[in-house]
Structure formats: structure tokens, C-alpha cells
Amino acid sequence: MQLKINKPRVSSEMKELSDLEVYYNSFEDDSPIEYIRLKNDDISGENYHQMEFYNSIFEKCRMLNCDFSNTSFVDVVFLNCDFSNSTFITAYFQRCEFINCKCMGCNMSDSTFKHCHLKECVFSFSNLSTSYLENVLFNQCDMTEAALSEIRYKSWKAIGTKFVGTNFFHTRLLGFDFSECELSEITISDTMEELKGAKISPVQALEIARMAGVEVI
């Protein structure tokens, strides 16, 4: 399946920043933050609940244990950032790129991803359950022990991605192609209804047969 993913519409003219808190506190109201390039900042533990970020780049930033719940990111690029253990519940991402980012243990449940490219990112132990995906590509990502249960989607794809111990409970995977990914020890329902119509490799088929209690000789 070919995905048409619209890239972030990032301006060539941006305000260079190294301290987001100082910049944010300079506003008298909750105005959206836009046209910034934030580099090498550590904003771990901060609260950015319900904020809006537009047309911006975050590079080599540490954002551990932050609250981004109900926050919007539109036309935003994240390069080599660390979001581990941060909260993105009901967050909104449109035309965003995550490149070589750490998102270990993040709670991204009930979020919306539209036209997003996630490349070489670590989502181990993260929770994306009940999220909505539209034109989303997971490219060489690590989804070990991640929760992808009850995912709603229009179109999504994974290439070279590691799905080990991943929870797909009640996520309909009809037509989803796992053949270029690592797939093992996933969590699904006893009926295995989630995998109906999914595309898997012969090696992966052996793993699924083992899960079903079938002895392959």
C-alpha cells in the first residue's frame, strides 16, 4: 500500500531559541507558539497542557516527564529529541515528522496522527491505544511492548519496524503488511480476529501458528 504523506510546511524563516520557558513566559496570554527552531533545550517536567505549536522545529531537546495532553502540533519536526515518559493524551499531530526520537513509556492514548512520518524512533512501552491514524508511516521504529489496542485508522504502514510483545488487542489489522517487520509475542484476543486479512511472511506465520497452539513439523 502506497501512502501519500504530506510533509510539514516548515518556514525557512524561524526564530532561533535555546530556552522555550523564557520565550513562553514572555507572552501575556496562551498564544500559539509558531515559527521557532528550538535546539538543545531541556524542558523536562514542564506542563504544556492544551498548548498549540505550529510551523516549528525541535532539535536535540530533552522533554522527559512533560505534560503535553490535549496539545496540538501542526507542521512540526522533531529531530533527535527525547520525550520519554511524557504524556500526550488526546494530543493532535498533523503533518509532523519524528526523526530518531526516544518516546519510551509515553502515554499517547486517544491521540490523533494525520500525515505523520515516524522514522527510527523508539516507542518501547508506550501507549497509543484508542488513537486515530491517518496516513501514518512507522519507518524502522521500535514498538517493543507498546500498546496499540483499539486503534482506529484510515491508512497506516510500517517498514522495518519491531513489533515484539506489542499489544494489538481489538485493533483490526485487515490488509496491514507485517512482512517487512519483526513480529513476535504480540497480544491479541483468543480468537485472533485482529489478524484476519493481515499480510505476514512465512517465518511470521510460524510464530502465529505457535501462538495458536499449532505444532509445525
Kindly tell me if the per-residue pLDDT of 140 is higher than 70. Answer: yes
Kindly tell me if the per-residue pLDDT of 81 is higher than 90. Answer: yes
Q: Is the residue at 174 inside a domain?
A: yes
Instruction: Tell me the per-residue pLDDT of 163-197, one tens digit each, with 9 for 90 and over.
Output: 999 999 999 999 999 999 999 999 999 999 999 99
Instruction: Tell me the per-residue pLDDT of 47-61, one tens digit each, with 9 for 90 and over.
Output: 999 999 999 999 999
Contact 186, 180 (CB under 8 A): no
Query: Do the bridges between strand 15-17 and strand 33-34 make them parallel or antiparallel, or are there none, so unpaired?
Result: unpaired
**What pLDDT shows up at residue 210?**
81
Q: Is the residue at 6 inside a domain?
A: no
What is the chain's mean pLDDT, rounded?
A: 94
- For cell 486515530, name the residue: 132
Overall average pLDDT of the 147-161 stretch:
96
**What pLDDT shows up at residue 193?**
94
Q: Is the residue at 195 inside a domain?
A: yes
Instruction: Tell me the per-residue pLDDT of 107-126, one tens digit each, with 9 for 90 and over.
Output: 999 999 999 999 999 999 99
Q: Is the residue at 3 inside a domain?
A: no
CATH number, position 155: 2.160.20.80
Overall average pLDDT of the 100-105 stretch:
98
Q: Is the residue at 156 inside a domain?
A: yes
Instruction: Tell me the per-residue pLDDT of 4-15, one tens digit each, with 9 for 90 and over.
Output: 999 999 988 899
Q: Minimal CA–CA distance to 41: which of 57, 17, 65?
A: 17
The pTM of the full predicted model, rounded to 2 decimals, is 0.92
Domain containing residue 156? 35-211
Kindly tell me if the per-residue pLDDT of 72 is higher than 70. Answer: yes
Q: Is the residue at 12 inside a domain?
A: no
Q: H/E element holding 36?
A: strand 36-39
Q: Is the residue at 85 inside a domain?
A: yes
What DSSP string runs through 98-144? EES-B-TT-B-TT-EEEEEEEES-B-TT-B-TT-EEEEEEEES-B-T
Q: Is the residue at 13 inside a domain?
A: no
- Name the domain count of the chain: 1
User: What percent of the chain lies above the pLDDT cut of 90?
Assistant: 84
